[in-house]
Amino acid sequence: MTTTGRVFRIHWVPGTDRLHATCHCAAEREFEDPVELWEWLLGHPEGHTP
């Protein structure tokens, strides 16, 4: 993937049902629900502690 700038990345953890989210501020968190995941990412910087 070729991306630049403020990028959110979501990696589906192999062998699991979990999604690993990384904010452009480097904060990371795992989720089981993509809706909750996007709420957290888009809530930046609230709750984003690298």
9 touching another protein, by CB under 8 A: yes
CB atoms within 10 A of CB 23: 21
With CB under 8 A as the contact rule, the residue among 25, 42, 43, 47 that binds another protein is 42
With CB under 8 A as the contact rule, the residue among 4, 45, 46, 49 that binds another protein is 4
6 touching another protein, by CB under 8 A: yes
3-class secondary structure, 13: coil
30 touching another protein, by CB under 8 A: no
CA distances from 19 to 10, 34, 47 (A): 6, 8, 17
14 touching another protein, by CB under 8 A: yes
